[in-house]
Structure 1
Amino acid sequence: MDALTHVLIGALVAQLPAAKPSSAGADTSTKTDWELRAAIGAAVALFPDCDYLLFWLSPLDFLAYWHRAETHSLLLSPVWAALISYLLCKLLRLANAALVFKICWLAIISHLVADTLTVYGTRWFAPLSDAQFSWDLLFIIDPYFTLSVILAALLMYICRKKMWHNKRFRLAALGPPLLYLAAVLGIKLTLTAHIQQQTLAPAAAMRLLPQPFSPLYWQVLSEDEEHIYQAYSKFTTDPLADGLSHAAGVKGFAEAYTETGTLQWRSYTQPAHSDPIIRQAWQHPDFKAFRDFAEYPVVLAKETSAEQGCVWFSDLRYHWPGIQPYFRYAMCQTREGQWQLKRGRYFSEHNEEVN
């Protein structure tokens, strides 16, 4: 999930806990008014992504093992909340420590839940388990969802201004994003049912993934032991998304998505079942991290020059029509037989060696 949406959700959920008077009878809620609550929630909601600092140590290990792990752990969330709330109470001299802890914990949990809505996967039970949870409902940037969160924040603000402190009013303000998620889930389930009823998928295992610009557009992935099948489907045409894609210079985006009855399937051979050169690159020990990361691995290209030959791989989860695949890695073999790992730079045609 993008940082702006995390900040907005953090500021929103920070308004949920009720402030309780101190034992002496003095109301300490003035120490945690709307603005301060929002500031704390917004800042703490960004905390789990501090793991991005590890990217510079090893981009591929970060991708495969470190991102959305311990700092995104549901098990460790109360520990992080306790540490952060303790520091905040000391630095800001806040008296209501229990309330600050609740705000911090809710902000962190909001980050974990928001990330789980995307396709990347979040390790809720790290470090005890590497199991990843992804609900595949939202693209990493979803302006519709962000707008629904802004609307919820406005409703929450109105509740505070009107002195509607009842818990039911505060929870009701969460309605817009929850209704939006319910609508997206309904669209996804409807598309899935149509494809299954019409027996359109080439293999039994099937998965629908959200796409950029619109909740109406989805990528359909199906696989068997040797092949991965990909198609782009739409619930219905989204003129706004089509206009945005054209404005962004993404060619062929709108045209790639078709109704379920006219899906255009593309077949990819699993790297482990490809030709010997691809298998050798795919199974190289230095490529283990990418093998562990990729769920739908495909060969992007085989490049040969006077100095070396490279096999480029990516993950179909991050393929979108007209947009360069985001995560691109290669194993390259020199004429002397030495292997080297390379990484495609994000949002760039250039590549770089990985130490």
Structure 2
Amino acid sequence: MDNLTHGLLGLAIGALRRPDVRPGAPERASPTDRAVLVASVLAAELPDLDTLLARGDAVTVALQAHRGLSHALVAAPLVALTATLAARACFRGARLAPVFLTSLASVVFAHLLPDLWTGWGTRVLLPFSDSRLSLDWTMVVDPWVTLPLLAAAAFAWRRREAWRRTLLWGAACSAAYVGFRVATWAVLTQRVEAAYPAAQAVRVFPQPFAVGTWRYVATLPGDVFAAGDVPLAGAPTEARRVETAPNALPEDVRAVPTVREALAWARFPLVQLEPDAQGGRKVRIADLRYHLRGEPTLAFVIHLDAANAVTHARMDRGGSASELLRRWRGTAAAP
């Protein structure tokens, strides 16, 4: 998920802990109460510092450096401890145990889990497994997850006497929406499976800024991908069938670490290899799970010299934001 959503989820998790109430005094925030909220937000944001420390080409940064060990379950206690120590340095007298435990919950449920439920995926099992796991319930940026949390935070700031209840209501609305997405994902997966009884695998994916329509890809016999859209009310509409070439890349190209990383990322890869003007080769690895009307919108383009060294690598998003929006509108309006 995006960093705004991570932080707001962390704030909501911090609100789950009942504040201290001093005997004989009006209810007010204790050092522990304040440290819990600050540490929860910090713990929800800290894993993404790996993007600031990353070095290398676009593929390495996007796929290997980001969502690496800082996003693994085994690193969660260390991230939580870092957030705890920072918050206790700001609020002297804050008790260690509640701040650390809330921070640990924030790392797991405000960062690792939301990253896991997106289509991009994350490697939560490092260092034991390098697999990129994904639940495909929401896009990385989903306003319907974020808006209830943001509205609750704004209202809590203005009505501080009801801040905790307000934050929890916002979290409940956001959680209900995610639950709706999970149920929708399950129903639509069954619908696409019924439409492709011979499929070896079927997967549905969220559409950008859309609730009622999802994308799907079905793997058919003979190394064929069928891509299309499936609405909440209606049958799947196939947009394109693509015959894939599993061995399109020679072994020496597949052995290049940057190429290997991009191939591991692409669950439904469309691969192109062609010579470039400098005497080397250009590799384009797209993933059909990101498609509009059957045409992939996200790919990694890697330039290799004659010795298979990477000279340039970039992420191709299929055009500018305005171009993608026009294409998406055209898809939504298509019969």
TM-score higher than 0.5: yes
- Secondary structure of 1:14's partner? helix
Asked if 1:212 corresponds to 2:208, the answer is yes
* Separation in 1, partners of 2:151, 2:282: 49
- Secondary structure of 1:15's partner? helix
Asked if 1:285 corresponds to 2:269, the answer is no
Which of 180, 183, 196 aligns to 1:183? It is: 180
1:176 to partner: Cα distance:
0.7
Q: Tell me which residue corresponds to 1:339.
A: 308
Larger mean Cα displacement after TM superposition, 284-293 or 147-156: 147-156
* Separation in 2, partners of 1:228, 1:157: 53
Q: Tell me which residue corresponds to 1:125.
A: 125
User: Could you list the runs of 5+ residues in structure 2 that have no partner in the other structure?
Assistant: 321-335
Q: CA distance change for structure 1 residues 329 and 101 in 2, over 3 Å: closer, same or farther? A: same
Q: For residues 220-231 of structure 1, what are the structure 2 equivalents within 5 Å?
A: 220-223=216-219, 227-231=223-227
1:212 to partner: Cα distance:
0.6
Question: What letter matches 1:126 in structure 2?
Answer: L
Q: For residues 104-253 of structure 1, what are the structure 2 equivalents within 5 Å?
A: 104-109=103-108, 110-151=110-151, 153=153, 161-162=161-162, 174-197=171-194, 199-200=195-196, 203-223=199-219, 227-236=223-232
Question: What letter matches 2:189 in structure 1?
Answer: T
* Separation in 1, partners of 2:115, 2:183: 20
Q: Tell me which residue corresponds to 2:10.
A: 10
Q: For residues 26-105 of structure 1, what are the structure 2 equivalents within 5 Å?
A: 29-33=29-33, 37-105=36-104
Q: For residues 242-321 of structure 1, what are the structure 2 equivalents within 5 Å?
A: 259-272=234-247, 274=248, 278-279=249-250, 282-286=253-257, 287-300=259-272, 302=274, 304-305=276-277, 307-320=279-292
Question: What letter matches 2:308 in structure 1?
Answer: W
* Separation in 2, partners of 1:320, 1:348: 10
Question: What letter matches 1:48 in structure 2?
Answer: P
* Separation in 1, partners of 2:163, 2:168: 14
Q: CA distance change for structure 1 residues 29 and 349 in 2, over 3 Å: closer, same or farther? A: closer
Q: CA distance change for structure 1 residues 262 and 269 in 2, over 3 Å: closer, same or farther? A: same
Question: What letter matches 1:305 in structure 2?
Answer: A
Contact 2:19 2:29 in 1 (8 A): yes
Question: What letter matches 2:31 in structure 1?
Answer: K
- Secondary structure of 1:317's partner? coil
1:324 to partner: Cα distance:
7.2
* Separation in 2, partners of 1:176, 1:119: 21
Q: CA distance change for structure 1 residues 173 and 61 in 2, over 3 Å: closer, same or farther? A: closer
Scaled by the length of structure 1, the TM-score of the pair is 0.73
* Separation in 2, partners of 1:263, 1:58: 35
Contact 2:43 2:107 in 1 (8 A): yes
Question: What letter matches 1:71 in structure 2?
Answer: S
Contact 1:221 1:230 in 2 (8 A): yes
Scaled by the length of structure 2, the TM-score of the pair is 0.77
1:210 to partner: Cα distance:
1.2
Q: How many residues align?
A: 315
- Secondary structure of 2:16's partner? coil
- Secondary structure of 1:130's partner? coil
- Secondary structure of 1:263's partner? strand
Cα distance per residue 1:182-220 (max 9 Å; x no partner): 2112222222222222x3366221111112111222221
- Secondary structure of 1:266's partner? strand
User: Could you list the runs of 5+ residues in structure 1 that have no partner in the other structure?
Assistant: 238-258, 351-355
1:39 to partner: Cα distance:
4.2
* Separation in 2, partners of 1:213, 1:184: 13
Which of 328, 331, 341 aligns to 2:300? It is: 328
1:281 to partner: Cα distance:
6.6
Percent identical residues: 23
